[in-house]
Amino acid sequence: MACHGRCCLTTLPEMKREAAARQLKRNPATLGAGNALRLKITLRYLTPPIWRRVLVPDHFTLGNLHSVIQATMGWGGGHMHEFRMPPRGFGPPLRRFGQEGEDEDATLVRDVLVRKGQMLLYEYDFGDGWLHGIQLEQILPREAGRRYPVCVAGARSCPPDDCGGPPGYDQLVKALQNPSAPSNAELLEWCGEWDPESFDPEAVNRLLGA
């Protein structure tokens, strides 16, 4: 697990909120005619699953979708990411460490997910390896007066950033199930008030401006 410093204890929730707010500055909520894509975002390799269902305007880019994923899942935004639909890969226009691929800010979601049931992969934090499956469930007409993007459903809290990927997440959950064990004290102090079962769609939609 990457970090157990006391400095993380009071700053983790604030860091997530601030990161989401920064990301969403380029994601203005949208009103008006057109279509919306209903997407189900599921964090892979975890049981029970952590997932979100969102509606995004069909003119959104993959860069916009990255911001939506960060806000709805609850990630802190401090790590690199990439979209993949083999053999294609998509990422930020200024890529580092020899990465290759297409510009996510110049690629529309509707041009990648073109048919119902199609799946796009999104990886966040190449060290921890958080892999998300993004499935196109439906293409719908936008409702008059409704703001997009919007989160319409979901379950369970996003893992804390830097917890060590799925194995580290499992370790945290087990520590919460046995809080009296002395060996779990450091983990419990590090994760603070994090509750793996919590999910607040209203708070998410306030971040999205929906």
Asked if pLDDT for residue 119 goes beyond 90, the answer is yes
What confidence tens digit (pLDDT) does each residue in 129-163 have?
Answer: 999 999 999 999 999 889 999 999 999 999 999 99
Q: What integer pLDDT is reported at residue 74 of this predicted model?
A: 94
pLDDT-derived band of residue 193, with 50, 70 and 90 as boundaries?
confident
Residues written for the chain: 210
Q: What integer pLDDT is reported at residue 10 of this predicted model?
A: 35
> What is the full DSSP assignment across 25-43?
TT---B-SSSEEEEEEEEE
Q: What integer pLDDT is reported at residue 11 of this predicted model?
A: 41
Q: Which of 3, 24, 10 minimizes the C-alpha distance to 161?
A: 3
Q: How far apart are CA 199 and CA 154, in angstroms?
A: 7
Q: What is the pTM of this model?
A: 0.84
What confidence tens digit (pLDDT) does each residue in 77-107 have?
Answer: 999 999 999 999 999 987 655 567 899 999 9
Q: What integer pLDDT is reported at residue 9 of this predicted model?
A: 36
Residue 57 bridge partners (DSSP): 36
Q: What integer pLDDT is reported at residue 103 of this predicted model?
A: 94
154 phi, psi to nearest 5 deg = 170, 175
Q: Could you count the other beta carbons within 10 Å of the beta carbon of residue 97?
A: 6
Q: What integer pLDDT is reported at residue 8 of this predicted model?
A: 36
DSSP strand pairing (81-85 vs 88-91): antiparallel
Residue 154 bridge partners (DSSP): 52
What confidence tens digit (pLDDT) does each residue in 55-78 have?
Answer: 999 999 999 999 999 999 999 999
pLDDT-derived band of residue 26, with 50, 70 and 90 as boundaries?
low
Q: Strand, helix or coil at 150?
A: strand
Q: What integer pLDDT is reported at residue 3 of this predicted model?
A: 41
Distance of alpha carbon 125 from the chain centroid:
11
For residues 75, 201, 148 and 60, what is the CA-based torsion angle, rounded to 10 degrees?
A: 30
- Could you tell me the domains of the chain? 7-208 (3.10.290.30)
Q: What integer pLDDT is reported at residue 98 of this predicted model?
A: 58
Mean pLDDT of 23-34: 62
Q: What integer pLDDT is reported at residue 177 of this predicted model?
A: 79
